[in-house]
């Protein structure tokens, strides 16, 4: 059952990016940088340092372009540099993320109602579904200024070059909107919204990097089969709900744009694009419109990636930009991707928490799960389980690897008992040292799917996996009597806590 507050945003509602910035400024979480900062490398260096200190949203008011001249368009960075701001973008306080996770689990497998009273208790879910109906037309701040034809120039955007080895300027927070071949522009439920990096080639061309399993790539293949260019719209500086919906691992039957209405607490507002048959977010800062070629590709990269390495240059499709629309005095939203921590890693921490109810629905014995951000968010998982029978840890490993697409790239899973905190490296180390035998408790698999950006893989896209059973061994798993864990008596612990609080107050925190 989903409680009423699950679908009722408790943060202020953010119809656009500017409303979110106003909220951040009210919270003392926005800083304007008046000093000119170069968009080549240095802006990323500042952003990286501030993010690692859990610092505020940054607004660079005087970016220096590649020619050394000041640009008139401010750059926003570090929008989701803390889990608190990610939760706010989802319309929640951090302590309410579990409720949103339960709602996402119900979207994947809605439980049948048990009578009229139960059906009525789920009205909040029904209300949230109604919010997903779009509002189409009306005034669009994103189209206050329209550039078409010879006026199109991607050089007007202060697009960063993030790392010294990068191939050139890279757009890093684009919400790329596509639809399948043969669909109507108004068929919002069929749209895909994805975050795909976009390399600027020249004044009017971009390279869109989407992997084969992503929604945008699937749509593009459909247009390719008919030999037709695909219409595409890219929203830059969308509202937080749209940005995060595009990044969430939603069920394939749920439209990201529609779901943004659930997070935002209001219906999505879209308008027809000016030069392509697409709908676009009315409240975005900037919208790029154009066509992705059915045949033309260009080498994308190399660029610094989430692994902390530069990925190799590879061919990806080219987009011809036919129009740029934007607000008056627009803001350009940017981020960087690199070795964690970065913004994707911070967002991943929150998304992992949201995914836990979905995982528990399929594997009920799981009590908690941690994907360490330092391990590139998904390359390693630590799972605590309620262990009841021999071989259970191995069954959980196999179930995780086959359950969600992102776990197919998890190369190491460590399973621990539910008395171990899977978020604590000290607890994990103790479990590995005292409950795991390398000759018995390590499971190795070969030639399984892997992110092709993983340079440790023997072959691109194929690699091994390791599962480590660091649980207490029971039944047929061991022939020895297992030792008893040492624990302080609860009464003694309470006495100690009281004494320390009275006599050593500095230690009682």
Indicate which residues carry an active-site annotation.
305
Structure tokens given for 116: 């009229």
Structure tokens given for 282: 């009315």
The pairing of beta strand 174-178 with beta strand 279-281: unpaired
Q: In what order do the strands lie in the sheet with 412-417?
A: 366-370, 380-385, 412-417, 462-470, 442-449
Q: How far apart are CA 106 and CA 100, in angstroms?
A: 10
Contact 75, 158 (CB under 8 A): yes
Phi, psi of 478 (to 5 degrees): -150, 155
Q: How far apart are CA 162 and CA 303, in angstroms?
A: 8
Angstrom CA distances, 409 to 109, 153, 449, stand at: 24, 38, 6
Q: For residue 249, which of 112, 347, 360 has the smallest C-alpha distance? A: 347
Residue 121 burial class via C-beta count within 10 angstroms: exposed 0-12, middle 13-18, buried 19 and up: middle
Q: How far apart are CA 316 and CA 375, in angstroms?
A: 27
Residue with tokens 């247009």: 223
Q: How far apart are CA 193 and CA 245, in angstroms?
A: 8
Q: How far apart are CA 45 and CA 26, in angstroms?
A: 26
CA 236 to chain centre: 16
In sequence order, what are the residues at sequence separation of 6 or more whose Cβ sits closer than 8 angstroms to the Cβ of residue 80? 86, 89, 240, 244, 335, 343, 346, 347
Angstrom CA distances, 221 to 174, 180, 218, 317, stand at: 21, 9, 5, 11
Q: How far apart are CA 405 and CA 401, in angstroms?
A: 8
Angstrom CA distances, 209 to 170, 195, 316, 434, stand at: 11, 10, 6, 45
The pairing of beta strand 192-195 with beta strand 135-136: unpaired
Give 152-193 as a DSSP string: --GGGS---B-STT--S-EE-SEEEEE--TT--TT-GGG-EE
Structure tokens given for 388: 């009841």
Q: How far apart are CA 263 and CA 20, in angstroms?
A: 13
Structure tokens given for 392: 């259970």
């Amino acid at each position: 059952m989903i409680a009423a507050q699950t679908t009722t945003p408790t943060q202020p509602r953010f119809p656009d990016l500017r409303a979110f910035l106003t909220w951040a400024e009210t919270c003392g979480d926005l800083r304007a940088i008046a000093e000119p900062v170069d968009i080549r490398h240095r802006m990323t260096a500042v952003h990286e340092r501030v993010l690692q200190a859990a610092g505020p949203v940054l607004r660079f008011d005087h970016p220096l372009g590649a020619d050394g001249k000041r640009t008139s368009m401010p750059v926003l960075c570090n929008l989701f540099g803390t889990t608190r701001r990610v939760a706010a973008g989802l319309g929640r306080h951090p302590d309410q993320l579990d409720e949103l996770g339960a709602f996402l689990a119900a979207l994947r497998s809605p439980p049948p109602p048990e009578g009229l009273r139960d059906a009525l208790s789920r009205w909040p879910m029904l209300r949230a579904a109604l919010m997903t109906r779009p509002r189409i037309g009306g005034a669009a701040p994103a189209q206050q200024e329209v550039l078409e034809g010879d006026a199109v120039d991607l050089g007007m955007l202060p697009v960063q070059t993030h790392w010294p080895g990068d191939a050139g300027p890279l757009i890093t927070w684009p919400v790329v909107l596509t639809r399948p071949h043969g669909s109507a522009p108004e068929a919002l439920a069929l749209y895909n919204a994805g975050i795909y990096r976009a390399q600027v080639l020249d004044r009017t061309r971009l390279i869109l990097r989407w992997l084969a399993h992503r929604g945008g790539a699937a749509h593009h293949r459909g247009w390719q089969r008919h030999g037709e260019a695909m219409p595409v719209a890219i929203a830059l500086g969308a509202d937080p709900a749209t940005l995060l919906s595009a990044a969430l691992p939603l069920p394939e039957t749920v439209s990201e744009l529609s779901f943004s209405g659930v997070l935002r607490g209001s219906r999505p507002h879209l308008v027809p694009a000016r030069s392509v048959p697409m709908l676009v977010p009315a409240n975005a800062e900037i919208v790029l419109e154009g066509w992705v070629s059915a045949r033309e590709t260009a080498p994308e990269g190399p660029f610094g990636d989430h692994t902390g390495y530069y990925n190799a240059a590879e061919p990806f499709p080219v987009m011809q930009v036919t129009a740029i629309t934007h607000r008056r005095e627009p803001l350009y939203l940017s981020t960087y991707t690199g070795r964690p921590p970065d913004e994707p890693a911070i967002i991943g921490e929150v998304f992992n928490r949201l995914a836990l109810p979905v995982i528990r629905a399929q594997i009920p014995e799981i009590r908690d799960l941690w994907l360490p951000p330092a391990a590139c968010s998904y390359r390693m998982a630590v799972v605590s389980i309620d262990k009841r029978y021999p071989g259970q840890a191995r069954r959980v490993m196999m179930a995780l690897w086959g359950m969600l697409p992102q776990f197919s790239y998890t190369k190491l899973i460590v399973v621990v008992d539910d008395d171990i905190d899977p978020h604590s490296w000290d607890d994990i180390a103790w479990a590995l040292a005292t409950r795991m035998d390398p000759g018995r408790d390590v499971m190795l698999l070969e030639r399984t799917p892997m992110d092709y950006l993983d340079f440790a893989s023997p072959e691109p896209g194929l690699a091994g996996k390791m599962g480590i059973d660091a649980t207490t061994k029971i039944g047929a798993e061991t022939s020895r009597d297992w030792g008893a864990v040492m624990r302080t008596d609860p009464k003694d612990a309470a006495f100690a806590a009281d004494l320390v609080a009275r006599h050593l107050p500095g230690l009682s925190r």
